[in-house]
Structure 1
Amino acid sequence: MSLRIKRIDPCSGSLHQYVTLTGTLLGTRHILWGDRVLEEGEWKGEVFAPGDVTLTFTIPQGSGTVSVVAIDGEERSNTVHFTYIRPPVQPDGAETPAPLLDGEPSVFDELVSCVRGAPRELVDRLEESDDARMARLGRAMRSVRGQLPPGPDGSDRSSLTGDGPTVIDPVTHDPAW
Structure 2
Amino acid sequence: MEMQTWARSVARAELADTLPRRWAHSCGVARRAAELAPVLGSSADLLAAAALLHDVGYAPRLATTGFHPLDGARFLRDAHRADEQLVRLVAHHSCALLEAEERGLREVLEAEFPLPQEGLLLDALVWCDMTTTPGGDSTDAGDRVEEIIGRYGADSLVGRFIRRAAPQLFAAVARTESVRAAQPR
Q: TM-score, normalised by structure 1?
A: 0.28
Which one has a bigger Cα radius of gyration?
Answer: 1
Between Structure 1 and Structure 2, the one with more helix by share is: 2
